[in-house]
Amino acid sequence: MKLTNRNPLKLLSCFVLGLAAATAVCAPPPTPANTEGWGSSKADFLKGPDGKPFVRLHLEVDRGGSSLGNLVNLEPGCSYDLKIEYQSSDEVSARDNGSWIYFAYKDGKDKQLGDDCKTLEKAASWVSKSFPLTLPAGTEKVAISIRQQNRKGTLDIKSVELKSNDGNAASTLSPAALAALEYISTPGEKLSPEGERSPLDGNIFSPYLKGIAPKIVKDLGTETVDDVQVHKVVFRSMTVGGETQDVYAIIARPPGDGPFPGVLLLHGGYGCADAKTAIHFAKAGYVAISPDLPGIADPKNCPNSVGPWAARFAKLGKRGKPDPTADETFDAVVAALQAFDLLAAQPGVKKDRIGVSGISMGGYSTTMITGLLGKRVRAAYSIFGCGFYDRGSEWSPVLKDLPDDQREAWLHHFDAGRRASGIQAPYFIGAAASDRFFWPPAVNATLCAIPGARNQVFAPGNHSLKGVPGGDNIALLYFSYWLKGEGEPFPQVTIESCENLPDGAKKISFFVQSSLPIVTATAFVTAGGESWQKSAWEPILAQPDGEKKFQVIIPADKINKKGAWFVNVSDARPATAGSLVYGMDASGSGPALHALGTQEQK
């Protein structure tokens, strides 16, 4: 599994009040989705008594925000005015609070030269207001973001026009743009290929958990690469508002008739079906399938996966309107489930020996579908991705800004940590202790929610397994044991005690279950930082303390109340595993020891 991955935070860009949502669609969209550059975040599209459409930015709580925006090219030497027709419920607004407009002025290379804000006065009925733009020298573009932010209230927008002093319109919120924004923001009813709708009062994925292989609607042929047969297909995933949504997948198989174990490979954010990794696994004796994941995949890289998802990519947010299936995550999880069924239906595949693996958002998907599929998965390996976003992740603030009912609904349906109790397969995660996206408390909580066998390793870095001996080979070693019955299991670390010493130091004692001799045992310690991403980890070698037992002393000058520590061990292969991540306040033994993020699970 390759470890390069595009930034999965962008998948949730519509949560953020930044201007990413106002940029152009990343792939040429179908005609109904031509927004003319306009983008919206958590907006509703309505019609007044006169039948004319308008945009509603509405907050149910005094946090978060809803926005409408565009990035507009300007003519050199011109001055500009923005005219807006609106109505607002806010008595008094200010920057970052209430109803207001943000302007970011940029040069031709998108370097920001300055910014400005204009507040909108309360208006119980439609009013028009004009704002002259004060352009810094060298301005060639302006990013406009009209916002209802951090205050419960409503801002309705009927028209927006940016016009130069010579009377030319640089940008207008046209009826066509409004129609396109409405199309994007309101996905139609999603039906399974069998015509079944998800039960909104139960498991929304149940129509896709029947073990039915999806229908292949397009066969793109087979080629042989290094004795591996590479078959490229497109399968029917669902219909969305009557439009078909089809998913591209690569199936790689070793020479011979088998039977072979199978592996489902799930790409990360902004990725796509990965032929290289599928071929790599096929060379090792697995039938491997790697699909595009609509909602996670980058439409620019997925020309064979067609349907409404491409126009809506990274634009819907997590409100779940009109129902939870409207969320982009739904499409990605469904495609992963269907790819699993397609793999299981391949000739020569051992149906009781199928593993799942994915990186980043693909690791999230691995955790999610392993919980949904239960005993059908034989082994799972996630790289970075986990659940319990609310306990520590890049998206924790985003979830916090949602109204309570919307946040709880999203977590109920889509948080992989809430699905972890259904995981029956042995589960391993290669996590990063300074990961930008998936933080140690969330990883810990996910692992502790799994009722069966689970194991882990933390790398002392950010979204990389650098620093983990054998990190690039974890997947093949792990699946070789669990899917082929070859080799030995990974070491298993148990923290037995954490003792506070009189001089202020800490003594950590741990036990290692391993079939092979342990060649290195190391504790990693951080004093903490502004964020997990900025936390630097220092290694401290552990010493043997009896048969399969080790201890390590963390000096007093390395201990900080914001700090943390974990332990890794490696055998001769090398196969590396470790402990959960603990805070510096952890002390005691057995059940008294709580890893970060897990105390409420004890």
Q: How far does Cα 403 stand from its chain's mean position?
A: 20
What's the pLDDT at 314?
72
Look up residue 288 and give its two tokens: 């491997």
Cβ distance 32 to 179 under 8 Å? yes
The end-to-end CA distance of the chain, in Å, is: 34
As a whole number, mean pLDDT of residues 504-530 equals 96
pLDDT digit string (tens) for 552-577? Answer: 999 999 999 999 999 999 999 999 99
305 belongs to a structural domain: yes
Model confidence at 393, pLDDT cuts 50, 70, 90, reads: very high
Residues 53 and 115 reside in one and the same domain: yes
What are the tens digits of pLDDT across the range 493-514?
999 999 999 999 999 999 999 9
Give the chain's mean pLDDT. 91
CATH number at residue 516: 2.60.40.10
At 328-361, the pLDDT tens digits run 899 999 999 999 999 999 999 999 999 999 999 9
Burial of 152 (0-12, 13-18, 19+ CB in 10 A): middle
Give residue 456's pLDDT. 98
471 in the same domain as 525 = no
Q: Are 274 and 153 members of one domain? A: no
198 has pLDDT over 60: yes
What is the per-residue pLDDT across 16-62, written as a single tens digit (0 to 9) for each?
Answer: 323 233 333 333 344 457 899 999 988 999 999 999 999 999 999 99
Task: Judge whether 303 lies within some domain.
Answer: yes
Rg (CA), the chain: 26
223 domain residue, yes or no: no
Average pLDDT over residues 539-547: 96
Question: Are 265 and 343 within 8 A, CB to CB?
Answer: no
- Say how many domains are in the chain: 3
Note the pLDDT tens digit of each residue in 214-245: 999 999 999 999 999 999 999 999 999 999 99
**Distance separating alpha carbons of residues 90 and 96, to the nearest angstrom:** 13
Mean pLDDT of 66-87: 94
Q: Among the three residues 484, 505, 540, which one is the final residue of a domain in this structure?
A: 484
Give the per-residue pLDDT at 96.
92
What percent of the chain clears pLDDT 70, i.e. is strictly above it?
93
* Rounded CA separation 108/102 (Å): 19
Q: Could you tell me the CATH number of the domain that includes residue 54?
A: 2.60.120.260
What's CA 592's distance to the chain center, in Å?
33
- Among 452, 484, 516, which residue terminates a domain? 484
Band (pLDDT 50/70/90 cuts) for residue 475 is very high
Residues 288 and 389 in one domain: yes
Indicate if 122 and 252 belong to the same structural domain.
no
Query: At residue 107, does pLDDT exceed 60?
Result: yes
Nearest to 74 by CA among 160, 157, 166: 166
**Can you give the residue range of the structural domain that contains 581?**
492-601
DSSP-H helix ranges across 318-461 = 328-344, 361-373, 396-401, 404-414, 416-419, 440-448
Q: Which pLDDT score, from 0 to 100, does residue 322 have?
A: 79
- Strands (E) across 418-563 are located at 427-432, 454-459, 492-500, 506-513, 518-526, 538-541, 543-544, 549-554
Q: How confident is residue 11, by pLDDT bands cut at 50, 70 and 90?
A: very low
The rounded distance, in Å, linking the Cα atoms of 600 and 602 is 6
Q: Residue 72 — very low, low, confident or very high, per pLDDT cuts 50/70/90?
A: very high
Q: Sheet containing 588-589: which strands, arranged edge to edge?
A: 543-544, 549-554, 506-513, 492-500, 588-589
Same domain, yes or no: 415 and 361: yes
Supply φ then ψ for residue 259, to 5 degrees. -80, 155
Distances (CA, A) of 146 to 159, 183, 423: 12, 20, 44
pLDDT at position 489, please?
A: 97
Does this model's pTM top 0.75? My answer is: yes
Quick one: average pLDDT of 203-221?
98
- Give the mean model confidence (pLDDT) for residues 157-182: 93
Q: Specify whether 313 is located in the same domain as 165.
A: no
- Give the per-residue pLDDT at 245: 97
Q: Is 266 helix (H, G, I), strand (E, B) or coil?
A: strand
CATH number at residue 349: 3.40.50.1820
Taking residues 121-128, report their average pLDDT.
Answer: 95
Residues 181 and 44 both lie in one domain: yes
pLDDT band (50, 70, 90) for residue 92: confident
The domain boundary residue, chosen from 437, 454, 484: 484
CA pseudo-torsion sign 207, 213, 217, 221: positive
> In the Cβ-directed half-sphere of 383, how many Cα atoms lie within 13 Å?
27
Q: Judge if 466 and 418 occupy the same domain.
A: yes
The H-assigned helical ranges of 226-327 are 275-283, 309-312
> Structure tokens of 138?
């060298």
Whether omega for the bond prior to residue 574 falls within 30 degrees of 0, making it cis, is yes
CA distances from 427 to 168, 301, 601 (A): 61, 30, 19
Same domain for 83 and 180, yes or no, is yes
Say yes or no: 401 and 498 in one domain.
Answer: no
- What's the pLDDT tens digit per position in 302-319? 999 999 998 888 765 666
Residue 202, domain member (yes or no): no
pLDDT of 256 strictly over 70: yes
SS3 state at 78:
coil
Element holding 77 (H helix, E strand): none
Question: Using one digit for the tens of pLDDT, what is the confidence trace for 414-455?
Answer: 999 999 999 999 999 999 999 999 999 999 999 999 999 999
Q: Mention every residue, 6+ apart, whose C-beta is less than 8 A from residue 36.
A: 70, 171, 174, 176, 177, 180
Residue 380 inside a domain? The answer is yes
Q: Is residue 201 part of a domain?
A: no
Residue 31 in any domain: the answer is: yes
Q: Is 68 inside any structural domain?
A: yes
Q: Are 54 and 150 members of one domain?
A: yes
Give the phi and the psi of residue 19 in degrees, each rounded to 5: -95, 5
